[in-house]
Structure 1
């Protein structure tokens, strides 16, 4: 039996049920294997009082420190998140906060390996914890953890050193693996593990009927992602100016919402563009199946779950050449890879609406991307790290 400790600041909770849901899905798939047992530690970064009682931190601060979350045992210790430090002390604070939890957990669950599911601060802390408990450490890079935190002076060195010290590394795309190696991480220790998708939840349906259920009669473009500049929603909004009769719905929430709302009003698109806010995952499946196109103009990505979920729904994607785009869009049945500007997005949207691929052909492009395949590869990878550590003793 392989006993895996999943360490992830990116994990759903009662206040953020969609936050890191792909980590939860991967963990469920891993835990479903007969030869694997899993526990989850999902630390919360909370600033000092009174900030801990304000804004987004207020609901985080009152979460239970231990709970059953959708069948998984999850521990939620808090670590000190010091504002204005650019994350310099996050990893050390996380490791200190998690240590008492792991000291107790070790008695009932003698974990064989620590699987950090985000590179910073999780992965950096995991390396220190692995040394303390004498177990191997895996760190998974997902995109923004490398692309954002490695560019900050306060955290870049921590990330590179953790990547060099970890027993094994995972990247969600081949492009991200290249980025990690360029930072100085050992390429021979980096395995590409693409995301999985629930093919029963995300699947093609009768598109006209699905649109009618949503009150849509014409072409529908869907964009999914946090409302932040990185996701480039404004580019897709601009593209709609030259696409009369086409509607755009954007699923996601974030600080960029007021700017996007003003832009929509200024362009006179209020009757065709909707900001849906945070949408439950099951509702996202309904939206994707109804949409003619999923368009996401991200500046950076690893391998976005939204891409794969759209394709599984039979909906082609339009995305820039970032991260694992070329692993996902390999044929025109999957969609288009285009330059990151409104003109190219508009042309691609118009093309796919005019001559859409069959939903079955689009879905076939991601049929190998199952959670079962993901968990099998991940289980073998983690077991290899444990065996490798044992052979050195």
Structure 2
């Protein structure tokens, strides 16, 4: 029996049911493997007063300290999330909160390994906790956890030190593995561990019927991602605005929403372009299957789940060369990799609309991404660390 303690500050809860849902799916896939038991610790960061009085933090403070979440045993300890320190003390606050909890868990659930499913602050905290408890630690790199925290002045040293001290390292793509190696570790120590996709939910469907259901009359482009600068939604808005008759829907929310609403209003295409806000995960499959293309102009990525989910839905993608893009767009039917400009995106989208690939051929590009394979690979990786 392999007993795994999964540590992740990026994990869904009742107030954020889709927050880090890919970590939940990965953990469920791991727990489904034979001779495997999993306990999840999903810390909740709360600021000191008066910031904690904000409705968002009051809702987080009301979460149960322990619950069965979608079949997983989940502890939700609180830790101080100190504002205005640029993450400098996040890992230290995590260790302070988790040390007594993990010692108690170990008495009833003597875990063999800590699986840190996000690089920061989870990784540095897991290293210190694993050393104190005498168990190996694996850390997974997904994207912004290394691209941002691994380069920020207040946290870069903590991220690099965790990478060097980890017993095992995972990355969501070859490009992400190269970025982890750049922190100062041998490249052969970093194992690529691709994300998964639920092929029963994300699959080709009747595109025309879905467009009718969604009140879309004409070609449809969908973009999926937080409304932040890094995702490049403004580029896609400008691209689609230049394509007469083409509709765009953007699924996601974030701080750039007012600026993007203004951009849409000034684009001359406000009747064709709209922000959907945060789309629940159970509604996302219909939008992706209805679309003629999914476009995302990211400045950086590890390997975006939205890319794989679109392909599994039979929808080709137009993306930049960020992260593992070339590992996903590995055939013409999968879509196009283009420069991060409105002109390049507009040309690629127009080309796909003029000569659309068959949805089943697009979906074939995503067949190698599955949660069962993801869980099996993760178990083999963690078991090897314990065996060593």
Give the TM-score taking structure 2 as reference length: 0.99
- Alpha-carbon distance in structure 1 between the residues aligned to 2:208 and 2:281: 21
- Alpha-carbon distance in structure 1 between the residues aligned to 2:330 and 2:4: 34
Report the equivalent of 2:3: 3
Name the SS for the 2:195 alignment partner. coil
Report the equivalent of 2:358: 358
**How big is the shift at 1:241?**
2.1
1:226-265 CA-to-partner distances (Å, cap 9, x unmatched) read: 0111100000000012101000000001111000001101
- Alpha-carbon distance in structure 2 between the residues aligned to 1:339 and 1:185: 31
Name the SS for the 2:99 alignment partner. helix
Unaligned residue ranges in structure 1 (runs of 5+): 389-393
Report the equivalent of 2:158: 158
- Alpha-carbon distance in structure 2 between the residues aligned to 1:93 and 1:188: 32
Query: Is the 2:163–2:183 contact (alpha carbons within 8 Å) kept by the matching residues of 1?
Result: no
Report the equivalent of 1:372: 372
Query: Is the 1:53–1:61 contact (alpha carbons within 8 Å) kept by the matching residues of 2?
Result: no
Query: Is the 2:298–2:320 contact (alpha carbons within 8 Å) kept by the matching residues of 1?
Result: yes
Report the equivalent of 2:108: 108
Query: Is the 1:138–1:170 contact (alpha carbons within 8 Å) kept by the matching residues of 2?
Result: yes
1:317-347 CA-to-partner distances (Å, cap 9, x unmatched) read: 0000010000000111000000011000000
Give the TM-score taking structure 1 as reference length: 0.98
Give the paired residue count: 388
1:64-93 CA-to-partner distances (Å, cap 9, x unmatched) read: 111111111110111111111111110010
CA distance 1:347–1:115, shift in 2 (3 Å): same
Report the equivalent of 2:318: 318
**How big is the shift at 1:210?**
1.0
Q: State yes or no: 1:277 paired with 2:277.
A: yes
Bigger drift between 268-277 and 168-177 goes to 268-277
Q: State yes or no: 1:12 paired with 2:12.
A: yes
Q: State yes or no: 1:248 paired with 2:244.
A: no
- Alpha-carbon distance in structure 2 between the residues aligned to 1:90 and 1:135: 22
- Alpha-carbon distance in structure 1 between the residues aligned to 2:360 and 2:298: 26
1:339-375 CA-to-partner distances (Å, cap 9, x unmatched) read: 0110000000001011011001000011011111111
**How big is the shift at 1:57?**
2.0
Report the equivalent of 1:127: 127
Query: Is the 1:202–1:285 contact (alpha carbons within 8 Å) kept by the matching residues of 2?
Result: yes
- Alpha-carbon distance in structure 1 between the residues aligned to 2:330 and 2:124: 34
**How big is the shift at 1:216?**
1.0
Report the equivalent of 2:179: 179
Unaligned residue ranges in structure 2 (runs of 5+): none
- Alpha-carbon distance in structure 1 between the residues aligned to 2:85 and 2:215: 47
Alignment of 1:179-198 (within 5 A): 179-198=179-198
- Alpha-carbon distance in structure 2 between the residues aligned to 1:258 and 1:58: 25
Name the SS for the 1:217 alignment partner. coil
Alignment of 1:31-50 (within 5 A): 31-50=31-50
**How big is the shift at 1:55?**
4.7
Alignment of 1:322-333 (within 5 A): 322-333=322-333
Report the equivalent of 1:144: 144
Query: Is the 1:167–1:189 contact (alpha carbons within 8 Å) kept by the matching residues of 2?
Result: no
**How big is the shift at 1:189?**
1.5
- Alpha-carbon distance in structure 1 between the residues aligned to 2:232 and 2:115: 31
- Alpha-carbon distance in structure 1 between the residues aligned to 2:303 and 2:171: 9
- Alpha-carbon distance in structure 1 between the residues aligned to 2:284 and 2:99: 37
